[in-house]
Amino acid sequence: MLRVSIILFYFCLLTFNLEKALPELPEVETIKNDLEKVILNKKITAVIIHRSSVVKEPSLKKFKSLLLDSKFRKIIRRGKLLAFEIITAQKEIYFLSVHLRMTGQLVYGSDDPKSRVSFKLSNGFYLCYNDQRTLGELRLVKDIQALNVVKNMGPEPLSKDFRVNDFIKYISMRKAKIKPLLLDQKFVAGIGNIYAAEALFISKIDPARNACDLNEQEAKLLFKNIKSILKKAIKCRGSSFSDYRDGHGNKGTFSNNFYVYGRKGQACLVCKDFIQRIKLGGRGTYFCPGCQK
C-alpha cells in the first residue's frame, strides 16, 4: 500500500512538472513594478547566501563585497530577465541580473529562511530570492548588454522595436511551426508556453502550422493579439499556474482567463469542443481543434 502511494506520489509529481509554467514577460514585469515601489534607493546592509550555486558570477566573495552597502538605482526588464542597476559603495555602477527560470521568486518582506539568497535592506526589510529547484541564475556584471542572453534577444513585444512588417516578413521566411517559433527568444523576447498558446487561440491559428503558411492577415492578427494578451496579463498581475508569485509573494489572476492553457479535456469556452494537448518542439501545447485552423 505504501509503495503504491509512493509511486502515485511520484507519478503526480512527474505529471505536474510537465506543466510547470515559467514566469514570462507579464510575470517578470509585475515583479519589476512591485519592487520599484519598495526597494529603489534602499541600501543593502547584508547579503546572506544560503545556496551558493545560484550565484553564477563573479566569485561569491566579490558578489558579497560589491553588493554590501550598494544602493538599488533602477530595475530593468528585458524579456524574462530582470536586472537591478546598483551603485556600489565605491560609486561604481553594476547590474544584478536575475533569471528566475522555473521556480525562482523575488519577494520583498521579512526574511524567508527558505530563500536561496537574501538581501537585507536599510529599512529592515529583505529582498529574498527563493528558488525551490535552484535552476535560476544571479549574476553581478558591469555591462548588462554583454550578457549572452541579452545580446541574442529579439525585440520587446510591447516596444516600438516590435514592428508588424518585420513580424510578417520574418514569419513568411520561416518553415518552423508557429508555436515553437513564438517561444524562440531570438525572434521575440519574453513569450513562453502560456502566452504563445493563448495568443494562438485568440488568433484562431493551429499551433502546429508552419509559420510561412500563415497569410498576411493571420500574421497581423497574431501580432496584435500577442501585444493585447501581454498587456491584459500585466493588468492581472500575471498568471500563477505554478510557482510564480509577485514582488509581495501573492499570486497573479490571469490564469482565471485561460482559454486553452492547462485545460486539456475541458470544453472550449467558445465552441464547446474539447481542448487538446500535443507536444510541439518538446513542449506541451494546448489548443482547440474546433477554433484553431
As a dihedral over the C-alpha atoms of residue 161, residue 166, residue 170, residue 172, rounded to 10 degrees, the angle is 150
Residues 6+ apart with CB under 8 A from 81: 28, 97, 98, 99, 147, 149, 150
Taking the least distance from each CB to Zn ion, the nearer of 22 and 288 is 288
Taking the least distance from each CB to Zn ion, the nearer of 128 and 288 is 288
Q: How far is the CB of 20 from Zn ion (least distance, A)?
A: 25
Q: What interhelical angle do 216-235 and 25-39 show, nearest 10?
A: 30
How far apart are alpha carbons 182 and 195 in whole angstroms?
A: 9
Site for Zn ion contains 197 (CB under 5 A): no
Residues 6+ apart with CB under 8 A from 108: 34, 35, 38, 39, 125, 126, 127, 128, 247, 248
What is the number of the residue whose Cβ is closest to Zn ion? 268
Q: Are 141 and 95 in contact (CB under 8 A)?
A: yes
Counting residues that bind Zn ion (by CB under 5 A) gives 7
How far apart are alpha carbons 240 and 248 in whole angstroms?
A: 13
Taking the least distance from each CB to Zn ion, the nearer of 152 and 266 is 266
Q: How far is the CB of 179 from Zn ion (least distance, A)?
A: 17
Taking the least distance from each CB to Zn ion, the nearer of 7 and 270 is 270
Active site residue 24: yes
Q: How far is the CB of 180 from Zn ion (least distance, A)?
A: 22
Q: Are 140 and 95 in contact (CB under 8 A)?
A: yes
Active site residue 277: no
Q: Which residues, numbered 210-269, are part of the site for Zn ion (CB under 5 A)?
A: 268
Residues 6+ apart with CB under 8 A from 16: 242
Cα–chain center distance at 58: 24
Q: How far is the CB of 182 from Zn ion (least distance, A)?
A: 20
Determine which one of 23, 26, 157, 207 is catalytic.
23
Q: Tell me, what amino acid is at 227?
A: K
How far apart are alpha carbons 103 and 133 in whole angstroms?
A: 6
Q: Which of 6, 7, 93, 270 binds Zn ion (CB under 5 A)?
A: 270
Active site residue 283: yes
Q: Which of 18, 93, 267, 271 binds Zn ion (CB under 5 A)?
A: 271
Active site residue 23: yes
Taking the least distance from each CB to Zn ion, the nearer of 102 and 208 is 208
Taking the least distance from each CB to Zn ion, the nearer of 25 and 196 is 196
Stretch that binds Zn ion, among 124-132, 236-244, 248-256, 283-291 (CB under 5 A): 283-291
Determine which one of 77, 80, 116, 245 is catalytic.
80
DSSP 8-class letter at 177: B
Determine which one of 43, 220, 224, 283 is catalytic.
283
Distances (CA, A) of 293 to 178, 192, 211: 12, 21, 13
Q: How far is the CB of 274 from Zn ion (least distance, A)?
A: 9
Q: How far is the CB of 203 from Zn ion (least distance, A)?
A: 13
Determine which one of 24, 27, 29, 218 is catalytic.
24
Site for Zn ion contains 290 (CB under 5 A): yes
Residues 6+ apart with CB under 8 A from 180: 280, 281, 283
**Interface residue list for Zn ion (CB under 5 A):** 268, 270-271, 273, 288, 290-291
Positions marked catalytic: 23-24, 80, 283
